[in-house]
Amino acid sequence: MQRTRFDTARIRAARQMIDPVFLDSPLYPCEALEPGLGCAVSVKLETANPVRSFKARGTEVVASLLVAGGPRAAVCASAGNLGQALAWSGRSRGLDITVVAPHVAPAAKLDRIRALGARLELVDGDIEAARERAVTVARDEGIRLVEDSLDIETCEGAATIGLELVDSSAGYDAVLVALGGGALATGVGHVMKALSPRVEVICVQPLGAPAMTHSWRQRRVTTTESTDTIADGVAGRHPIAAVLDDLLLVADDAVLVRETSIIMAMRMLVEHAGLVVEPSAALGIAAILEDRERFAGRHVVTIVCGSNVDPDAYHRWVTDLPS
């Protein structure tokens, strides 16, 4: 394939920088989901770790390299999961971490960022406003700006999930990946295309936050004015050109799903698999629900990428709405 920004050897090296508590996450079939979905589904569970999302794989790489030689402080913009992960990785290495987050981010995520000892700055607006503010903080304070998906370390960390998928003996046909900024999708996608090219890489984004999917389809960066989705973790509006370039090389498809499908998927995951997930982590199951024919009889693996939800909101989504 054409060259992405990734180097598989560097991804293997990144793995060595990550605290083992985040590695070798469970990968297993959830047969109880089959009757409702019409296909065999395995989950790669990225929630059973201290920050309840896959993001620490990337921040562990970032923080390890900072310790090896760089500023002892860093700032990131985050809808919550990256900030929590960077706070965790920074704390364990004695780094000062600042997180800029939208004030509308889930309280559960913001509380954890504070509890992990990071300085938390809230901004009006959405993740794009937070990104702008983080740039200013980094410049004013002379500290490292960690930019999710743009910084290759964040992508290489996420890509280690791909190594684990390839190493497993499970013979699946497709991997369903949540698509936000693109670190997870391009990282896992690169590894699959490099090492298991027969596996279809399908990215899934909410209809209410479709910027990267539109960009992938049009093969050029396309922004949106706003977002409207409960999947706060993937609600960007300004795709990064370099990430899109990679996504064009490694994604076989990018699909959009409705909010009702995301909620139904969250409900199925808790009822039939006992898994509490945040909306972004239900995107893969939502994609199956919206196109059962495409997946009928196949074996797919979906990356359950986070479980940081506000209990009240989760309860409202999963138990209060009509089936």
Q: By the criterion CB under 8 A, which residues form the site for a second copy?
A: 21, 24-32, 45, 47-50, 52, 112, 115-116, 270-271, 273-276, 307-309, 311, 315, 319
CB of 22 to a second copy, least distance (A): 9
Q: Residue 173 carries which side chain, given as an amino acid letter?
A: D
CB of 112 to a second copy, least distance (A): 6
| Minimum CB distance to a second copy smaller for 219 or for 315 | 315
| Minimum CB distance to a second copy smaller for 95 or for 137 | 95
Strand partners, 201: 175
CB of 88 to a second copy, least distance (A): 9
Residues 42-81: b if buried by 16+ CB within 10 A, e if exposed: bbbbbbebebbbbbbbbbbbbbbebbeeeeebbbbbbbbb
| Minimum CB distance to a second copy smaller for 29 or for 71 | 29
CB of 29 to a second copy, least distance (A): 5
Q: Residue 35 carries which side chain, given as an amino acid letter?
A: P
| Minimum CB distance to a second copy smaller for 177 or for 275 | 275
Compute φ and ψ for 198, nearest 5 degrees: -75, -15
Burial class (CB in 10 A: 0-12, 13-18, 19+), 175: buried
| Minimum CB distance to a second copy smaller for 24 or for 132 | 24
d(CA 167, CA 56): 21
Burial class (CB in 10 A: 0-12, 13-18, 19+), 226: exposed
Q: Are 51 and 99 in contact (CB under 8 A)?
A: no
Q: Strand 27-29 and strand 40-45: pairing?
A: antiparallel
CB of 143 to a second copy, least distance (A): 25
| Minimum CB distance to a second copy smaller for 50 or for 71 | 50
Q: Are 307 and 112 in contact (CB under 8 A)?
A: no
Q: Return the C-alpha torsion angle 78, 317, 230, 124, nearest 10.
A: -60
CB of 116 to a second copy, least distance (A): 8
